[in-house]
Amino acid sequence: MTDPAAVADVRSPLSDGEWHRLHPLTPVLRGGLFLVVVLGIVITNLRDRIIGWLFPAVADLERYEADPVDYVVSNNLILLALVAVLAVLLLLLGGFWLSWRFHTLRITGDDVEVRSGILFRTHRRAPLDRVQGVNLTRPMVARLLGAAKLEVVGAGLDSNVKLEYLSTTNAEALRADILRLASGRQLARASDAAGSVPRGRAAVATVSAALTGLIDGAEQPVAEPASVVHIPPGRLIGSRLLSGSTLWLLVVVAAIIVGSVVGTPWVLFTLVPAALGFAAYWFRTITRALRYSIAPTPSGVRITFGLFTTITETLPPGRVHAFEIRQPLLWRGCGWWSIRVNRLSGRSANDAQSQQFADVLPVGTRDDVERVLRLFLPGISAAQWQELVVHGLLGPHDESDPYVTTPRRAWWLRPLSWRRNGVLLTPDAILLRRGLIWRSLVILPLARLQSVALSQGPIGRSQKAATLTGHTVAGQVPGAVGALDRDAAVAVWQRAARAVIAAAASDRSHRWDAAPPASPAPIAIATTDQEEGRA
Amino acid sequence: MTNTPDLPNQDSASPTTTDLEPGGGVLDAGTYDRLLEPRSANRLPLGDGTWHLLSRNYVWVRLISTLAVLALVLAAAVVGAVLLRLGWVWIPAGVVTVVTVWTLVILPRQARAYGYQLREDDLVFRRGILWQRMVAVPYGRMQLVDITHGPLDRVFGIAQLKLVTAAATTGVVIPGLTQPAAELLRDTLIAVAETRRTGL
């Protein structure tokens, strides 16, 4: 696109409306796995031989079995074998290099576009005003080479635009540009075009910078906002050890010990794989959550986590559809809580990563919960927060409880939590309070709620009870609370249906930074873009 | 259509006073005239406003298609038992027959429990007698409206309308509308959604 106005507005070298290639080391990073596989095959075949070279004494004790290397050596085919291995490597690298050549991206005033594929060309275009967030992932190896993956999160299933790989500086500039374009504000005038570095040199030059970055953390721009929550590593490890899976481990250990006492002692050996499995699980969850930070930026809340693979996601305002503040049983003594959210992550709900992206606060005290919630819902006043804590998190205490709860006649539907189980409609959100043992408070912002349902089965009808469900985008947070008094539930449902419409009509957060009257300029650009894209 | 002003829990300031009523009587031509509710007084109340119901032909379509499937199953069972001398095929065939006959028995009642209301800013959909469900979907939340009709549906002149929001759980599927009603409803919903468009 050659619209001069848009070009002049753009700051970073990659988002100037022209087609660009990705980081030149992309073929190496993407082909790295295949290199490892080839190396692995070679090394396993040479293992005995290498041991023989290094420790001749050991080699004398055992005879080689017939392996391909013996065959190659005995038939004088060494040269041929080396050529074959080299050819395979070159073919693979050539393939990845070609796919890199054909993989181009373009940022225009309204879309992110990616073209890829050698034989089967794909052209993906994502409109910027539907961007749900931008994730910057820096895997260990890529970080050493100064590269990062950028993922533009769209609203549909499998609708993410992946930019693998970009140099770290480009990725950060691009992220800022995309978020700024998505915010509805026109890009700032070109201020520092000097920030561009020739990419061939950048690949080498950034290695040293990346090493410092490795130590400093994922982000090192000057205006990096400070995290509002600090999680001491001890608390993080403790919280992961006190998770529900630990209860299962205890149950399994007890069962194995009982089994070995009652039956055969051999059962004890099954402890080893169980322990290994749990150790791996803990290691994974802990390293993933380490180095957590959450901070407000002009273009949304920025969450960073991960020790080895560092992921930085930016959630623009108004992209979170549901919050759940939870307290597992074992955390109650420590006063810890966690927050998870429903958001459009562009992934299917059973994707392992979608759970990871759902946790916005892995563990924190009540103050941390307040700070994180205030980032996402800045409108909460101090009095409202007190009410939320007293009634929502810890409640109910006395008769002043504002929640609509399970009536006494239906207590057996929620035998433990019937006093707590309830719903409250506030001007901005529906609050669902559940669980006496596993405490949970769900906040459904009305401006994001898709629809509200009321349902009743035969058992509920016999107790004059009903279930209220708020429908949000798919995610980890459930939006239903059951066994409510029917009349109260109907009243809440009717008021909620009206409040959702009012909230949606007044909500402007999907173009959070736009001037109050929507400017017609972006729409004009959109039409020209689409015509060019089809040509 | 049915008006039920005699219910508990009336909300005088209800938004349903100004309904959206497109196309005169098209939505109610050839439909049932009364919405079926659970007998218990503890049921979910209908509220006020006008409920539109399903076409009477819906039951016939379902009856014919279900019976056709049942006939196929029974034919397969007869073939299995007589030609292949497999006695046990009567067990699954019997289970399928019992379940199918039961669904056919409750089908007319179920069909009369479906209803939808076009309020000023949202669509209310209800269904079910044993398991009652009511959903309020704001027009602005609609992502798309889907109309499907199979060959048998076309013979009887009915269609199924599905309303999709960003939440998969919204689940508003209105089966058995008359075809003019389905098309009118689709056009109305899209026109209304356009004027009340919101973000996700």
Task: Using alpha carbons, select from A528, A534, A535 the residue that is nearest to residue A108.
Answer: A528
The count of CB pairs under 8 A between chains A and B is: 116
Residue-averaged pLDDT of chain B: 85
Same structural domain, B166 and B122: yes
Instruction: List chain A pLDDT tens, one digit each, 535 residues.
Output: 344 444 444 556 777 778 888 888 887 777 766 677 777 877 777 776 677 677 666 555 555 555 666 676 777 777 888 888 888 888 887 888 888 888 898 888 778 888 888 888 888 888 887 788 888 888 888 888 888 888 888 777 777 888 888 888 888 888 888 888 877 654 443 333 333 334 444 444 444 444 444 444 444 444 567 888 888 989 988 888 888 778 888 888 888 888 888 877 777 777 888 888 888 888 888 888 888 899 988 888 889 888 888 888 888 878 889 999 999 888 988 999 999 998 887 666 556 666 677 888 999 999 999 999 988 888 788 888 888 888 888 878 777 788 988 999 999 999 999 999 999 998 889 999 998 888 999 999 998 899 999 999 999 999 999 999 999 988 889 899 989 999 999 999 999 999 999 988 887 765 655 544 333 333 222 333 333 333 3
- The answer on B101 and B57 residing in a single domain is yes
- The answer to whether residue B12 is domain-embedded is no
Tell me the nearest-neighbour CA distance from B105 into chain A, angstroms.
19
Same domain for A381 and A493, yes or no, is yes
Handedness of CA A500, A505, A506, A508 (dihedral sign): positive
Contact between A510 and B200 using a beta-carbon 8 Å cutoff: yes
Residues A454 and A497 in one domain: yes
Domain boundary among A102, A126, A156: A102
Residue B158 and residue B136 share a domain: yes
Closest chain B residue by Cα to residue A491: B9
CA-nearest residue to A494 within chain B is B14
pLDDT tier for residue B4 given thresholds of 50, 70 and 90? very low
Distance CA B159, CA B66 (A): 17
Nearest CB partner across the interface for A500, out of B9, B138, B170? B138
Query: Based on the domain organization, do B88 and B119 belong to the same domain?
Result: no
Residue A156's closest CA among A185, A124, A117, A120?
A124
Instruction: Give yes or no: residues A329 and A423 share one domain.
Output: yes
- Whether A146 and A200 have beta carbons less than 8 Å apart is answered as no
Of the two residues B173 and A386, the one the predictor is more confident about is: B173
- Set of chain B residues whose Cβ sits within 8 Å of the Cβ of A469: 169
- C-alpha distances (whole Å) from B56 to each of B147, B149, B150, B175 are 18, 16, 17, 11
Whether B30 is in a domain gets the answer no
CB nearest to B44's CB, from A454, A469, A500? A454
Selecting from A344, A452, A498 the residue whose C-beta is nearest the C-beta of B15 gives A498
Q: Which of A458, A504, A509 sits opposite B138 (nearest CB)?
A: A504
Nearest to B165 among A451, A469, A479 (CB): A451
CA dist B166 and B143 (Å) reads 7
pLDDT for the residue A251 = 87
Which distant-in-sequence residues (6+ apart) come within 8 Å of B198 by Cβ? A504, A505, A507, A510, B138, B140, B141
Tell me, yes or no, whether A18 lies in a domain. no
8 Å CB contact of A510 and B172: no
Q: How far is A401 from chain B (nearest CA, A)?
A: 22
Domain termination residue (choose one: A75, A102, A129): A102
Domain identity same for A349 and A492: yes
Quote the tokens at residue A309.
């693979």
Among B71, B86, B111, where does a domain finish?
A: B111
pLDDT digits (tens, 9 = 90+) for B71-103: 999 999 999 888 888 888 889 999 999 999 999
CA distances A144 to A120, A134, A148, A206, A304, Å, are 32, 22, 10, 9, 18
Beta strands at A161-167 and A147-153: parallel, antiparallel or unpaired:
antiparallel
Say yes or no: A256 and A331 in one domain: no
List CB contacts (< 8 A) between B7 and chain A. none
**Per-residue pLDDT tens over the stretch A132-151:** 888 888 888 888 888 888 88
Report pLDDT for B180: 92
Could you give the C-alpha distances from A305 to A340, A373, B167, in angstroms and in order? 14, 18, 28
What is the distance in angstroms between the Cα of B112 and the nearest Cα belonging to chain A?
A: 17
What range does the domain containing A238 cover? 233-289
In angstroms, what separates the C-alpha of B123 from chain A's closest C-alpha?
Answer: 10
The CA R_g of chain B, rounded to the nearest whole Å, is 20
Kindly determine whether residue B42 and residue A494, on different chains, have CB atoms separated by under 8 Å: no
CB contact under 8 Å between A507 and B199, yes or no, is yes
Q: Are residues A284 and A326 in the same domain?
A: no
**Within a domain: A414:** yes
**A342 shares contact with chain B (CB less than 8 Å):** no
How many domains are contained in chain A?
3
> In the prediction, which pLDDT does A527 show?
30
A108-117, A206-215, B52-61, B145-154: range with lowest mean pLDDT: A206-215
Mutate: best of A456, A459, A463, A464, partner B, most B CBs <10 A? A456
Question: Would you tell me which residues 123-182 of chain A have a C-beta closer than 8 angstroms to some C-beta of chain B?
Answer: 130, 132, 155
Determine the Cα–Cα distance for residues A464 and A483; give it in Å rounded to an integer: 9
Same domain, B188 and B130: yes
Residues A254 and A382 in one domain: no
Task: Determine the Cα–Cα distance for residues A513 and A508; give it in Å rounded to an integer.
Answer: 9
Q: Which residues of B touch A456 (CB under 8 A)?
A: 42-44, 131-133
A282 lies in the same domain as A331: no
Q: Residue B130: give its domain's CATH number.
A: 2.30.29
The pLDDT value given to residue A11: 58
Collapsing DSSP to helix, strand or coil, A483 comes out as: strand
Assess if residue B74 is contained within a domain: yes
CA atoms of A184 and A525, how far apart (whole Å): 13
Which structural domain, as residue segments, surrounds residue B89?
Answer: 51-111
- Candidates B40, B134, B198; nearest CB to A507: B198
Cα angle, residue B11 at apex, residues B9 and B17 outer, rounded to 5° = 135
Whether B20 maps to a domain, the answer reads no
Same domain, residue pair B192 and B129: yes
Q: Kindly tell me the sign of the dihedral angle through the C-alpha atoms of A389, A391, A393, A398.
A: positive
Asked, for residue A144, whether it belongs to a domain, the answer is no
Under 8 Å between Cβ of A476 and A358: yes
A494 and A419, same domain (yes or no): yes
The answer to whether residue A520 is domain-embedded is no
Same domain for B133 and B88: no
pLDDT average, residue stretch B162-168: 88
- A465-491 in b/e form (b: 16+ CB < 10 A) is bbbbbbbbbbbbbbbbbbbbbbbbbbe
- B63/B81 same-domain check: yes
Which of B96, B112, B98, B97 is CA-nearest to residue B59? B112
Q: Which residues 6+ apart lie within 8 Å of A399 measured at CB? A: none
Closest listed residue to residue B137, CA positions, set B193, B183, B195, B187: B193
Pair (B144, B107) in one structural domain: no
Question: Do B168 and A469 count as a contact with CB atoms less than 8 A apart?
Answer: no
Within 8 A by CB and 6+ apart from B64, the residues are B152
Q: What pLDDT score does A458 carry?
A: 93
> Rounded CA gap, A6 and A529, in Å?
12
* Residues A419, A498 within the same domain: yes
Total structural domains within chain B: 2
Q: Is residue B22 part of a domain?
A: no
B7: in domain = no
Q: What is the total residue count of chain B?
A: 200
Q: Say whether B137 and A511 touch across the interface (CB within 8 A).
A: no
B-facing residues of A in 439-498 (CB < 8 A) are 448, 450-458, 461-464, 466, 469, 471-474, 479, 486-487, 490-491, 493-494, 496-498
Within 13 A of A12's CA, how many CA atoms are on the CB side?
22
Which three-class secondary structure state does DSSP give residue A485?
strand
Q: Do B122 and A501 touch (CB under 8 A)?
A: yes
Q: Single out the residue in B96, B111, B126 at which a domain terminates.
A: B111
Q: Is residue B17 part of a domain?
A: no
Per-position DSSP letters for A38-85, written without gaps between them: HHHHHHHHHHHHHHHHH-HHHHHHSPPPP-HHHHHHHTT-HHHHHHHH
**One domain for residues A356 and A253:** no
Q: Which residues partner with A325 through β-bridges? A: A339, A441
pTM of the model: 0.78
Picking from B95, B111, B127, the residue at the C-terminal end of a domain is B111
The domain boundary, picked from A83, A102, A121, lies at A102
- Report the alpha-carbon distance of residue A419 to residue B58 in Å, rounded: 44
Number of neighbouring beta carbons within 10 Å of residue A192: 9
Residues B30, B52 contacting (CB under 8 angstroms)? no
In a domain, A420, yes or no: yes
Choose the closest CB to A452 out of B15, B45, B136: B136
Q: Tell me how close the Cα of B170 comes to any Cα of chain A, in angstroms.
A: 6
Q: Are residues A275 and A365 in the same domain?
A: no
Distance CA B59, CA B175 (A): 10
Residues of A in contact with B121 (CB under 8 A): 501
CA angle, residues A433, A451, B12, in degrees to nearest 5: 85
Asked whether residue A366 is assigned to any structural domain, the reply reads: yes
